[in-house]
Amino acid sequence: MNARTDIADRLLRWFEDHGRRDLPWQHPRSGYRVWVSEIMLQQTQVATVIDYFNAFMARFPDIHTLAEAPADDVMRHWAGLGYYARARNLHAAAKQVVAEHGGELPADVDALMTLPGIGRSTAGAIRAQAFDAWAPILDGNAKRVLARYHGVDGAPGEAAFEKALWALAERETPHERVADYTQAIMDLGATLCTRRNPDCPACPLSDDCVAYRQGRQHEIPAARRRKRRPLRHTRMLVLQRGPDEILFQRRPPAGIWGGLWALPEVPAERDPETWCRDALGLAPDAVRELEPLRHGFTHFELEIRPLHMQVEDAAGIMDADDCAWHDRNAPPGVPAPIARLIRRLPETP
Of the candidates 38, 176, 265, 289, the residue annotated as catalytic is: 38
82: left (phi over 0), alpha (psi -120 to 50) or beta: left
Question: Rounded to whole angstroms, how far apart are CA atoms 78 and 263?
Answer: 18
- Across the strands, what pairs with 308? 238, 288
**Would you call 335 helix, strand, or coil by DSSP?**
coil
**Would you call 50 helix, strand, or coil by DSSP?**
helix
**Would you call 232 helix, strand, or coil by DSSP?**
strand
Whether residue 38 lies in the annotated active site:
yes
Cβ neighbour number for residue 4 with a 10 Å cutoff: 13
- Across the strands, what pairs with 323? 249
CA separation (Å) from 70 to 65, 91, 112? 10, 9, 23
Question: Rounded to whole angstroms, how far apart are CA atoms 198 and 187?
Answer: 13
Question: Rounded to whole angstroms, how far apart are CA atoms 171 and 165?
Answer: 10
Give me the active site residues, please.
Answer: 38
